[in-house]
């Protein structure tokens, strides 16, 4: 039986996150360490192995998901859904009313996940992401928490 644990990110998690997400994440160890004091950082563990991370900026009644990732070889197993649902539940308990995020226009899997949670597209940031030598647009999504 698989055991999932959603919890606050700890300093020791930063090195693990840097290593397992290096192929999809340009952030380095000092950035992750700084995030701990600046943002609402949570991780997802599967059988005591870190498999996902979410970083959120809380601003009174609003929150902005600034980073959300599942370890690449663990994607498409429902872990992203579990991590996002856990974070949204926690934000709702904190009386957050609106959640925002940006998603790469070509990341259809992430967009599908966000639509599952009733996020709606409210805007576009042109040339927001740099992927290799080219730029990609980002969609701005929002969710009203009830």
Q: Is residue 114 flagged as an active site residue?
A: yes
Torsion (CA) 82, 88, 94, 98 in degrees, nearest 10: 170
Which residue out of 39, 62, 114, 126 is catalytically annotated? Answer: 114
Residue 129 annotated to the active site: no
Find the catalytic residue in 6, 102, 108, 126: 102
CA distance 132 to 134: 6
142: which residues sit within 8 A by CB, 6+ positions away?
98, 99, 100, 119, 120, 122
Active site residue ranges:
102, 114
């Amino acid at each position: 039986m698989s055991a999932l644990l959603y919890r606050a990110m700890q300093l020791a998690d930063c090195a693990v996150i840097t290593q397992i997400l290096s192929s999809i994440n340009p952030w380095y160890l000092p950035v992750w360490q700084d995030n701990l004091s600046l943002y609402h950082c949570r991780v997802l563990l599967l059988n005591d192995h870190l498999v996902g991370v979410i970083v959120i900026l809380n601003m009174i009644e609003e929150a902005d998901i600034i980073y959300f990732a599942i370890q690449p070889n663990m994607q498409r197993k429902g872990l992203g859904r579990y991590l996002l649902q856990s974070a949204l539940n926690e934000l709702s308990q904190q009386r957050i009313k609106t959640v925002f995020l940006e998603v790469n226009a070509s990341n259809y899997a992430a967009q599908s996940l966000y639509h599952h949670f009733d996020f709606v597209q409210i805007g576009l940031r042109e040339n927001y992401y740099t992927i290799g030598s080219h730029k990609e647009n980002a969609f701005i999504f929002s969710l009203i928490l009830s």
